[in-house]
């Protein structure tokens, strides 16, 4: 008994579907804003770098990293996020002027100051 393709029309439909999905993916990458898939959200659920008021602040800074240290609640850390224009280094983290110019406060969290921030430099 010879073997052969029994579902030729299904094969054509399947290949057309795969081609359509590939074309749609190319279109989405070329015309879409794929960075929105991995953009961070601050404590007030604003998408850093995209939402109104925080377009120039594309990075997220957590002002409370107690969870990472193992002595706190994960929700506390997530509710401490503020959008910043860039991540501070060890010198900028204690500079009040840097925080004034590079941090955008939200409805739930104020920007830290050089006096109140921990030692969480990038």
List pLDDT tens digits, range 56-105: 999 998 887 766 656 667 777 788 889 999 988 888 888 888 888 898 88
Answer whether 119's CB lies under 8 Å from 91's CB: no
Give the bridge partners for 104, in sequence order: 83
Mind listing the pLDDT tens digit for each residue in 2-44? 777 778 899 999 999 999 999 999 999 999 888 888 999 998 8
Give the bridge partners for 81, in sequence order: 62
Cut 0.85: pTM above it? no
Percent of the chain with pLDDT over 90: 34
Residue-averaged pLDDT of the chain: 84
Return the HEC string of the chain: CCCCCCCHHHHHHHHHHHHHHHHHHHHHHHHCCHHHHCCCECCCCCECCCCCCCCCCCEEEECCCCCCCCCCCHHHHHCCEEEECCCCCCCHHHCHHHHHHHEECCCCCCCCCCCCCCCCCC
Rounded to whole angstroms, the Cα distance separating 24 from 18 reads 10
């Amino acid at each position: 008994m010879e073997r052969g393709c029994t579902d030729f029309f299904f094969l054509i439909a399947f290949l057309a579907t795969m081609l359509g999905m590939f074309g749609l993916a190319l279109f989405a990458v070329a015309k879409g804003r794929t960075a929105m898939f991995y953009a961070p959200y601050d404590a007030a659920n604003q998408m850093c770098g995209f939402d109104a008021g925080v377009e120039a602040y594309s990075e997220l800074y957590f002002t409370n990293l107690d969870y990472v240290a193992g002595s706190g609640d994960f929700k506390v850390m997530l509710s401490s996020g503020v959008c910043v224009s860039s991540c501070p280094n060890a010198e900028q983290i204690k500079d009040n002027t840097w925080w004034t110019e590079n941090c955008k406060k939200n409805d739930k969290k104020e920007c830290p100051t050089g006096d109140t921030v921990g030692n969480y430099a990038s």
